[in-house]
Amino acid sequence: MSKFVGVIPPVVTAFDSNRKLDLERTKEFIRHLIGKGVSGIFIAGSTGEYTLLSIQERKELISAGVEAVDGKVPLLAGTGDNSTTTAIELSRYAEEAGADAATVALPYYPKPTQEGLYEHYKRISENISIPLMVYCWPEQHAGVNIAPEIVARLAEQGAIAGIKDSSAGIDHITEIIRLAGDRISILIGWANKLLPALALGADGTVCTIGNVIPEEVVAIYDHFQQGDMDKAREMQLKILPLIEAVSSDPGGTKEALKLIGQSVGPSPLPILAVPDNVRASIKAELIRLGRLS
C-alpha cells in the first residue's frame, strides 16, 4: 500500500445563507483546490465542521467529495465519532461511496483509556477494507491524545495506514515518526510546522490554511522534496503570520476565503462571523502575501 503524501487540505464545507449544506459549492471548491496542485482532499474533517452536522449530512458530504474528486487525487473521508459503532457505520459508508481512506478522529467523551483507543481503531479496521487513518487533536478532543506506542502497535498489526497529528507541539509526531514512520503515512496537522516535520520524516500535511493559500503550502513541500531548503524555509516563514491570523478565530478560514473571492458561506451555529479586528488582521496578511491589493 502506497503512502498518502504531500498537501491534503481538510476542505471547508460550504453552506447557503440559511446555514444549510451547499454540496454543489463544496464540490466546486474541491475542484478549485485540485486545480491548485494539492495531493489529496480530506472531506468532513474538523475544518469541514463535521461535528456540527448530522450523520446523514456527513454521508451526503462524503459522497459529494467522492464525486468532486473523481479519482484525480486520493479522498480521505472523516468518519470519526465518540461511538465505535457509529464510526464503523460511517467508515463503511465511506468505503461504499468510493473514498480512498477513512480518517477517524479520536473518541474523547466519555474519555477512553489508551487500551480503549486501541480497541476503537482495531475494531474499525476489522470492518473496512480501505486504509484507516488516525486523527488526533488533543486541544479540541478534550485533552485526549493517542500514545505513540499505541500508534506503533496498530501500525505493526496493519490496522492503520497513517495518522494526522494536530498536537500543539512537535514532540508527539516526532516520537510517532521514530516508532512507526517506516510503516504508515504521517501527516502534520499544522502548516506552521510543515518544514520541521518534513525534515524529521513526516510525509506531508493536512492543514487548514491549504484551503486559502494552497500554492504556497504546496511550494514548501515541493521545495523540500527537491532539496531546496532555502526556498522552503523562505516560504514557511512567509506564511506564518497569515496562519496565526486565520487560526485566531473558528471562522477565520471562511473569512479569508470570502476576502479572496472564494466565499463558501457561513458556518453552522454556534460559529459566528469573525469580529472586525480579526477580519482586519486577515486582510492585512492577505495583502502582504499579494492575494489582495
The DSSP element (H or E) to which 101 belongs, if any, is strand 101-105
What is the spatial distance between Cα 78 and Cα 252, in angstroms, rounded to a whole number? Answer: 21
Nearest in space to 172 (alpha carbons), one of 150, 141, 157: 150
Q: Which of 93, 118, 135, 221 is catalytic?
A: 135
DSSP for 28-72?
HHHHHHHHTT-S-EEESSTTTTGGGS-HHHHHHHHHHHHHHHTTS
Instruction: Report the amino acid identity of residue 74.
Output: P
Does 3 qualify as catalytic in the annotation? no
Q: Which of 27, 59, 164, 258 is catalytic?
A: 164
Does 254 qualify as catalytic in the annotation? no
Sheet of strand 41-43: strand arrangement: 6-7, 204-205, 185-188, 162-165, 132-136, 101-105, 75-78, 41-43
C-alpha cell at 45: 474533517
Q: Which residue is listed with cell 463558501?
A: 264
Nearest in space to 68 (alpha carbons), one of 4, 21, 17, 11: 11
Cross-strand pairs, 42:
10, 76
Q: Give the residue numbers annotated as catalytic, written as ranges.
A: 135, 164
